[in-house]
A and B are shown apart, each in its own frame.
Chain A
Amino acid sequence: MSRGAGYVLIRNEKLLRSFSLFLNYFRAIKSLHHIIALLKKDLLLEIRQQYTFYGILLYVASTIFVLYLAMNQPEENVWNGLFWMTQLFVCVNAVAKSFLQENAGRMLYFYTIAGARDFILAKLLFNAVLMVVMSLVSLLLFQLLMGNPLQHPFKFVGYACLGGCSLSLVFTFLAAIAARARQGAALMAIMGFPLIIPQVLLLMRMSNTAFADVIQAGLLQIILLLVALDILVMVLAVILFPFLWKD
């Protein structure tokens, strides 16, 4: 072939490659748009249907009040243990509502307009934020009612946020699985407790340092391990969720 035709072929290929790069960039922006739209939808629903948010707040308050009546003002490691157990059960209840209250038709609608990946990312982020808010509220109530044995309160606030985030990521994906099995929060709890045990152990060890000046060797390792676990759970959820919703 003549030089002219080959030259046009190469130019077209370059154009095609740069166009596909542009398309990828465009697709990422569209993805971000979807995620933000879904987040806004969830937030709006929470603000309007106030029973969900206030329901969880009431659950937190009642649990802590009952704990206070039962234990009065426990000493440090009991305080710590009770705090994380409360977080666990609050998380199960808070996250269960996110998937198990929507009916199948609405879920299908969201999947078709936004795609499975964006949907699960939006749910993961929303539940993480919700759980962080609940963690801070329950920390406040704990300090009010159950005494304040914390030596480093700001560190503990950070630990509570990280812990709430970690717990909510695992339970969100398990809620998706339980919703598919049409089974409800009990099955979600059964599946969730074994998987959450390592994270709870790490969280307990980490948060012990906020009480007396306990030197926990490898504290940074523990924090990095928790963050790495969170990233692992998010990656697994994003990869596996599209298989779940196919019907």
Chain B
Amino acid sequence: MRQSWWKILSIVLLLYCFIGGLLVPLPNRIAYEDSNLYESMRNFFFHVPMWFSQLAMISVSLVYSIKYLRHPDLHNDIYAAEFARTGTVLGCLGLITGAIWANYTWGTYWNNDPKQIGAAIALLIYVAYFVLRNSMTDIDKRGRVAAVYNIFAYFIYIPMIMILPRLTESLHPGGKGSEGNPGLGGSSLDPAMRAVFWPGVLGWILLATWITTLLLRVRFLEEKKLSR
């Protein structure tokens, strides 16, 4: 295993997050008294870090797309595509875990909540990105057009998911009916939960990067074989 320190770190952090997430005492008022969350609030340690790492992957993909437009190097294009791929998978996972959570707390799997809609939009955008990539065979044109679409879609998507849930009434915390930062459950996160949550975010981001580096290595080997 190359450069193993951060990979081992990611495994350690993820194990810490999983075990801590299942064991840490939940804040009494928010989880048990004021809402119907009870133990399902523990999904917070799984669903939200997946979403954070999806955002991280997509942002890195954007950076490589911008780099590709400045220096049309095939490496940048491949990096952008593989990071977007991992981001899409994480987005699927985030959507599925969110739907399962919603089934137990809000009643049904799909509630037309703005954040759910935003996550579905992200999925559609990146699937369209891959359809666009596959529709072109010329490598340079593919890289350029895909990079342009990636940048365009990202800069429309990010304002949308930041602003839309705050404007409309949302079942998620932070919508118009409630206060606080959307996604962190109330005006401030309980310190015990915080101690498990942020390492978990870092662990998921490192895991996603690890998966992406493996995909990249496979892709570069394929490229090398094809260009022989």
Residue pair A243, B69 in contact (C-beta under 8 Å): yes
Decide if B7 is an interface residue (CB 8 Å cutoff). no
Residue pair A232, B156 in contact (C-beta under 8 Å): yes
Chain B residues, Cβ within 8 Å of A197: 117, 121
Cα(A218)–Cα(B164), bound, Å: 12
Interface residues of B in 135-150 (CB under 8 A from A): 135-136, 141, 144-145, 147-149
Decide if A244 is an interface residue (CB 8 Å cutoff). yes
Known contacts A232-B156, A236-B155; is-contact A198 B121 (Cβ 8 Å): yes
Name the residue on A nearest B126 (C-beta): A194
Residue pair B124, A173 in contact (C-beta under 8 Å): no
Residue pair B124, A198 in contact (C-beta under 8 Å): no
Chain A residues, Cβ within 8 Å of B152: 173, 177, 195, 236-237, 240
Known contacts A181-B132, A187-B132, A195-B156; is-contact A201 B148 (Cβ 8 Å): no
Decide if A67 is an interface residue (CB 8 Å cutoff). no
Cα(A170)–Cα(B157), bound, Å: 13
Cα(A183)–Cα(B137), bound, Å: 12
Residue pair A180, B141 in contact (C-beta under 8 Å): yes
Residue pair A240, B148 in contact (C-beta under 8 Å): yes
Residue pair B168, A205 in contact (C-beta under 8 Å): yes
Partner of A218, one of B128, B149, B153, B167: B167
Q: How many chain B residues have a CB neighbour from A under 8 Å?
A: 29
Cα(A177)–Cα(B124), bound, Å: 17
Partner of A221, one of B128, B147, B151, B167: B167
Decide if A8 is an interface residue (CB 8 Å cutoff). no
Cα(A53)–Cα(B125), bound, Å: 31
Residue pair A243, B160 in contact (C-beta under 8 Å): no
Residue pair A190, B121 in contact (C-beta under 8 Å): no
Mark each residue of chain B from 152 to 173: 1 if its CB lies under 8 Å from any CB of chain A, else 0: 1101110110011001100000
Partner of A194, one of B128, B136, B144, B167: B128
Residue pair A195, B168 in contact (C-beta under 8 Å): no
Measured CB to CB, the closest approach of chain B to A74, in angstroms, equals 21
Partner of A187, one of B135, B157, B160: B135
Chain B residues, Cβ within 8 Å of A198: 118, 121, 156, 160, 164
Chain B residues, Cβ within 8 Å of A181: 132, 135-136, 141, 145
Name the residue on B nearest A197 (C-beta): B121
Measured CB to CB, the closest approach of chain A to B175, in angstroms, equals 12
Chain B residues, Cβ within 8 Å of A205: 168
Measured CB to CB, the closest approach of chain A to B228, in angstroms, equals 28
Residue pair B148, A190 in contact (C-beta under 8 Å): no
Q: By CB atoms of chain A within 10 A, which of B147, B156, B159, B164 has the most?
A: B156
- Of the A-B pairs whose beta carbons lie under 8 Å apart in the complex, a sample of 20, sorted by A's number, is A170-B156, A173-B152, A177-B132, A177-B149, A180-B145, A181-B135, A181-B136, A187-B131, A187-B135, A191-B128, A193-B124, A194-B128, A195-B153, A198-B121, A201-B117, A205-B168, A229-B156, A237-B152, A240-B148, A240-B152
- Closest A-B pairs by Cβ, 7 of them: A194-B124, A198-B160, A194-B125, A191-B128, A194-B121, A240-B148, A190-B128
- Chain B positions near chain A (C-beta within 8 angstroms): 69, 117-118, 121, 124-125, 128, 131-132, 135-136, 141, 144-145, 147-149, 151-153, 155-157, 159-160, 163-164, 167-168
- Chain A positions near chain B (C-beta within 8 angstroms): 170, 173, 177, 180-183, 187, 190-191, 193-195, 197-198, 201, 205, 218, 221-222, 225, 229, 232-233, 236-237, 240, 243-244, 246
